[in-house]
């Protein structure tokens, strides 16, 4: 909280200087999130976790769906909101981090260390105690590794020379156990029900119930909205199958009752 207040105070002091310098004209092109559904994330890229241990996305995921986010630990604005949004959604998803899926946050800043990762982890854990932040992987990586990962998932960002901060989008990616990009979530407020469906869908049947599979049968991921939406064709197919099952059961029942 003290860090946020100090950052806000400095921002107010420096606001007139920033206002004199217009933002880059190509801001939308240089920072944003491009959806690469189905792209294969390089799961063997070397990372370092908050405890200084060497990791890869493959060892982090451990055969489970992976919630993957990018940003940086010293970010004074957007990243705090993104991390709290993820923690809030995770707290409302009836699945366990580590047992059912994994969460990884990778810093895009080359000068950040494991200490920065630990401080961010502890801060989110205190602010959102139900978000299981202590079980997430908080990682740093060399610039080539970060560039490879962000390029694959379509995460575009740049360092603003006006204040030395990184301009980047808000959101995260759901990665299937085989490394395939399954779904994107944008912004800083995430629907827990949609996240659960995304994890169930990405798990290839490992997670979820029969009801979840029926819902996914009638719904499809819409890249335009970043959410699951009802597909009329799938709904009609499901209703048609249900009707045939009912008719077959009725015919069998009548046949058995006929002397």
Q: Are 140 and 234 in the same domain? A: no
Q: Maximum Cα–Cα distance for the chain, whole Å?
A: 93
For residues 61 and 43, give the distance between their C-alpha atoms in angstroms, rounded to a whole number: 9
Per-residue pLDDT, 233: 37
216 and 192 share a domain?
no
Whether 13 is in a domain gets the answer: no
Residues 222 and 192 in one domain: no
Residues 153 and 184 in one domain: yes
Give me the domain span that covers residue 34: 18-205
Contact status, residue 50 vs residue 125, Cβ threshold 8 Å: no
Strand order in the sheet with 171-175: 137-139, 102-107, 66-71, 171-175, 181-186
One domain, residues 156 and 231: no
The segments of the chain whose pLDDT lies below 70 read 1-29, 205-259
Q: What is the pLDDT of residue 225?
A: 55
Residues 85 and 114 in one domain: yes
3-state secondary structure of 190: coil
| Structure confidence at residue 193 (pLDDT) | 87
Q: Clarify whether residues 69 and 103 are in a common domain.
A: yes
Model pLDDT, residue 175: 97
Same domain for 152 and 42: yes
- Indicate which CATH number applies to the domain containing 44: 3.40.30.10
In a domain, 6, yes or no: no
* Residue at 7 is within a domain: no
Looking at the structure, tell me whether residues 228 and 200 fall in a common domain: no
Q: What CA–CA distance (Å, rounded) separates 94 from 249?
A: 35
- Rounded Cα distance between 214 and 135, Å, is 31
User: Side-chain half-sphere of 155: how many Cα atoms within 13 Å?
Assistant: 27
pLDDT in tens, 31-71: 899 999 999 999 999 999 999 999 999 999 999 999 999 99
Q: What total number of domains does the chain contain?
A: 2
- Regarding whether 243 and 138 lie in a shared domain, the answer is no
């Amino acid at each position: 909280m003290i860090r946020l207040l100090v950052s806000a105070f400095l921002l107010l002091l420096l606001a007139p200087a920033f206002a004199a310098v217009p933002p880059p004209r190509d801001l939308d092109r240089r920072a944003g999130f491009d959806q690469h559904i189905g792209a294969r994330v390089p799961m063997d890229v070397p990372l370092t976790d908050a405890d200084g241990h060497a990791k890869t996305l493959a060892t982090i995921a451990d055969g489970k769906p992976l919630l993957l986010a990018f940003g940086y630990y010293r970010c004074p604005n957007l990243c705090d909101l993104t991390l709290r949004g993820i923690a809030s959604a995770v707290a409302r998803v009836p699945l366990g981090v580590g047992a059912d899926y994994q969460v990884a946050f990778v810093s895009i800043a080359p000068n950040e260390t494991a200490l920065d990762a630990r401080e961010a982890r502890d801060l989110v854990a205190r602010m959102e105690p139900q978000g299981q932040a202590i079980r997430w992987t908080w990682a740093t990586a060399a610039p080539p590794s970060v560039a490879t990962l962000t390029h694959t998932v379509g995460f575009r960002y740049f360092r603003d020379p006006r204040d030395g901060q990184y301009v980047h989008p808000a959101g995260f990616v759901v990665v299937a156990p085989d490394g395939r990009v399954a779904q994107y979530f944008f912004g800083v407020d995430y629907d827990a029900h949609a996240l659960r469906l995304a994890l169930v869908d990405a798990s290839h049947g490992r997670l979820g119930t029969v009801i979840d599979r029926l819902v996914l049968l009638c719904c499809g991921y819409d890249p335009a909205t970043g959410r699951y939406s009802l597909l009329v064709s799938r709904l009609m197919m499901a209703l048609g199958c249900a009707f045939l099952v009912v008719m077959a059961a009725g015919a069998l029942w009548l046949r058995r009752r006929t002397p």
